Amino acid sequence: QVEMKESGGGSVQAGGSLRLSCSISAFTYSGACMAWFRQAPGKEREAVAVIDSTGGTRYGDSVKGRFTISKSSANKILYLQMNSLKPEDTATYYCAASPGSRPFWYEAEFRYWGQGTQVIVSS
């Protein structure tokens, strides 16, 4: 059974950095699309960044140039480097994955999810 677990969340002042990690176990598919989503209080969950099976990436407009998604070989760990953080980045961050070679983006396209890690950015 695939399990995903996030770590690295916490509190930081605006302008600071955090690095989120997501450990992935029992994911035996040869190709995978992986992503980070976030959900702020009172808002819908939104895609932050996606990395597909070829290493191609896509970012949400609000995080372009500030966040970087990457993964380890064999799809064991997913990372999200977050720089120049803003108060509006405050949210619970979730990692997600789905087998396949397509670059997914929408929440419904991802099969596996972590439990989330909270990020709080103070001004």
> Please, which pLDDT band fits residue 28 given cuts at 50, 70 and 90?
confident
Work out the widest C-alpha separation in the chain, in whole angstroms: 43
The pLDDT assigned to 30 comes to 76
Q: For the chain, state the CA radius of gyration.
A: 13
Of residues 35 and 30, more confidence is placed in 35
The pLDDT assigned to 27 comes to 81
The pLDDT assigned to 82 comes to 98
The pLDDT assigned to 90 comes to 98
The pLDDT assigned to 43 comes to 96
Of all residues in the chain, what percent are helix, strand and coil, respectively (each to 5)? Answer: 5, 50, 40
The pLDDT assigned to 1 comes to 87
The pLDDT assigned to 29 comes to 79
